[in-house]
Amino acid sequence: MADANPIVGRTKHGELTLDQMAELQPGLGQLMPLMSERYWICYYAAKGGNWALAAYQLNGLRSLFKKANTTRPKYTAVLDSYVEIILDPLAMHIEAQNFAEFETCYLQGIELANRMHGSTNHPEIIWKLPPAPPQHLELGPIP
């Protein structure tokens, strides 16, 4: 039975129902490229000594994980596990500015992410660290 008075949002372009707005929320297919980019930048920022940028990217990654938990709650346990096993320790290594420990944990994060892709029926997704740092950001220490 359809609601006679559905909740709608109005814009200058028209109306959207609450259900239509919910359908517009990004799934993991849209969020994962953003996560991937932040993870990539985080590595090279830490390697270059721009610890503030590494922390910023990690915080952005955490925000994307929260969005993913909201829009795809069936993956909450997997995503929360990754945060606990990888992102939380990475934050500590960034705070300590310890690249050796950061890199070990970071590489473990890649292995875990790829295992998780397999366990969620996406074994075709095999992430790897790009061999070159991003060119659009300053990755060295902040003067």
Render each residue's pLDDT in the chain as its tens digit; 143 residues.
556 777 888 889 988 877 777 777 777 788 899 999 999 999 999 999 999 999 999 999 999 999 999 988 999 999 999 999 999 999 999 999 999 999 999 999 999 999 999 999 999 999 999 999 999 999 999 88
| pLDDT at residue 63, rounded to an integer | 96
| pLDDT at residue 77, rounded to an integer | 95
Residue type, 62: R
Q: Which residue(s) pair with 17 in the sheet? A: 8
What is the DSSP code (8-state) at residue 16? E
Pairing of strands 14-17, 8-11: antiparallel
The answer to whether 69 and 80 are in contact (CB under 8 A) is yes
Question: Within a domain: residue 35?
Answer: yes
Question: Within a domain: residue 5?
Answer: no
Question: Within a domain: residue 10?
Answer: no
The answer to whether 109 and 82 are in contact (CB under 8 A) is yes
Residue 23 CA neighbour count, 13 Å, CB half: 5
The answer to whether 59 and 69 are in contact (CB under 8 A) is no
Question: Within a domain: residue 88?
Answer: yes
Question: Within a domain: residue 135?
Answer: no
Question: Within a domain: residue 136?
Answer: no
What CATH code is carried by the domain that includes residue 69? 1.20.120
Residue type, 1: M
Domain span holding position 94: 28-119
User: How many domains, the chain?
Assistant: 1
What is the DSSP code (8-state) at residue 17? E
Question: Within a domain: residue 97?
Answer: yes
Q: How far apart are CA 16 and CA 7, in angstroms?
A: 8
Question: Within a domain: residue 111?
Answer: yes
Does the predicted TM-score (pTM) go above 0.75?
Answer: yes
| pLDDT at residue 121, rounded to an integer | 93
